[in-house]
Amino acid sequence: MIIVQQKHLDKILEMTKDYKRLLIIGCDGCASVVKVGGERQAKVLKSLLELRRKTKGDGPAAVKAISILRQCDKEISADALKSSIANYDGVVCLGCGVGVQTLAEICEPTPVVPGTDTKFLGMHDTKEDKFYEMCKACGDCLLFETGGICPITRCAKSLLNGPCGGQAKGKCEVGGWTNDCAWILIYNRLKERGRLDLFTKFRAPRDFRVSEHPRETSIDVDEEKGKDSNDQ
């Protein structure tokens, strides 16, 4: 999922100081799952802004909080907002950077500001309640060669051919030997599987053209139709 972190209240106040009527929009997708930008957090932010106005006199005069099923879906977001957006001077979006940009396009000319910082694509360890970066969406996945452990993301130097000289006792020098060295993890996993041939295999430098941005893709409509007819 996409991991986001809410911005400081003072930052949100600074970004919205010119808006008298403010709409806070949470997202029921990733931002809600990470308990940062869902409906509940949108309502809490509304309460904080109202309290701030009562106690310090700054902030918007009227605030409403809602949430949208998935802000990154243009149709869903447009349907949710089209009849009401004209009632507001500005919007705080609690979704990720994709959500902010989707809403900005839909709400124009009403300005949309980010209420969160988008951090990374990550795994949620629910027992520890921590999030770990797992993928940089490189566009050419090689997890089948690395035992399901991504060296591009989890090796601090994104090395492709084994560990650098900075690992000690399985820990990475970047960050002061606190994180596991991804290449030691990969070695151990491949050894368990009896596939050290993949560890010693030479991997050529990556072709960064597959990661050029902005990227776009589409669903293959013919393939989708084929699936539908096979299902019947």
Q: Which is nearer to ligand SF4, 69 or 196 (CB)?
A: 196
Q: Which is nearer to ligand SF4, 69 or 141 (CB)?
A: 141
Q: Which is nearer to ligand SF4, 52 or 203 (CB)?
A: 203
What residues between 19 and 78 interact with ligand SF4 by CB under 6 A?
none
Q: Is 3 in the site for ligand SF4 (CB under 6 A)?
A: no
Contact pattern for ligand SF4 over residues 95 through 134, marking x by CB under 6 A = ----------------------------------------
Q: Kindly report the CA angle at 69 between 67 and 74, in degrees rounded to 5?
A: 105
Among 5, 14, 51, 166, binds ligand SF4 (CB under 6 A): 166
CB of 98 to ligand SF4, least distance (A): 17
What residues does 114 pair with on adjacent strands?
Answer: 93
Please, where are the H alpha helices in 156-220?
Answer: 182-192, 196-200
CB of 221 to ligand SF4, least distance (A): 24
- Write the CA distances from 18 to 5, 14, 48, 110, 162, integer angstroms: 24, 9, 17, 12, 53
**What is the C-alpha separation between 86 and 108, in angstroms, rounded?**
10
**What is the C-alpha separation between 176 and 185, in angstroms, rounded?**
18
Contact pattern for ligand SF4 over residues 170 through 199, marking x by CB under 6 A = --xxx------xxx----------------
Number of residues that bind ligand SF4 (CB under 6 A): 24
**What is the C-alpha separation between 171 and 164, in angstroms, rounded?**
11
Q: Helix (H, G, I), strand (E, B), or coil: what is residue 19?
A: coil
Q: Is 149 in the site for ligand SF4 (CB under 6 A)?
A: no
By DSSP bridging, strand 116-125 and strand 130-135 are antiparallel
Which residues of this chain interact with ligand SF4, rule CB under 6 A? 135-138, 141-143, 150, 152-153, 155-157, 159, 163-164, 166-167, 172-174, 181-183
